[in-house]
Amino acid sequence: MQTRFILQWFTILSFFVIAFVLELAPWPLGFQMLKPAWLVLVLLYWVLAIPNKVSIGWSFLLGLTWDLVLGSTLGVHALVLSTSMYIIAKNYLILRNLSLWFQSLLVVLFVFIVRLLIFLIEFSLHTAFFHWQAILGAFASGLLWPWVFLLMRKIRRKVKLH
């Protein structure tokens, strides 16, 4: 029983570490605009799958960690991730029952809103620029959502994480 508990939390933490690594991995200059929001995708999956274990507190801690790693203003990502995941957690039953392709469309919108909110907070604090290419990154996130969702669900079921 204890081993299964440790394996389950190790699985969750491993996905977040992988998301951070993918988030920080350098992309070729011409493809920077297509970089998906890996951390948002992984966090979104866990909030939809097990909202009683991964929710607002995790979102806040991951946002703070993201701020520290990026060297941005402390609390910006934490605020945006925790408030946006609160909305997802409140509506997880509705969102979970939508088709995977409709979820992908909502992921595009959701990632764009997260990036826009981060920009607006950064802009209100100091000079920041919004690049229209953020829309392409949101589309890339939406295109990857079905595969991310199916892969993570398969692994979650394999370790019996409910």
* Of 127 and 43, the one with more pLDDT: 43
Confidence of residue 43 (pLDDT cuts 50, 70, 90): very high
Q: Is residue 112 within 8 Å of residue 75, measured between CB atoms?
A: no
Q: Is residue 81 within 8 Å of residue 107, measured between CB atoms?
A: no
Q: Residue 39 is encoded by which pair of tokens?
A: 């951390």
Residue 91 phi/psi, 5-degree rounding, is: -115, 25
Calculate the CA 43 to chain-centre distance. Answer: 4
pLDDT over 90 for what percent of the chain? 81
Mean pLDDT, range 63-75, rounded to an integer: 93
Residue matched to tokens 């060297």: 71
| pLDDT for 139 beyond 90 | yes
Mean pLDDT, range 134-151, rounded to an integer: 95
| pLDDT for 134 beyond 90 | no
pTM for the predicted model, two decimal places: 0.94
Sequence-ordered list of residues with C-beta below 8 angstroms from that of 151, at least 6 positions apart, any chain: none
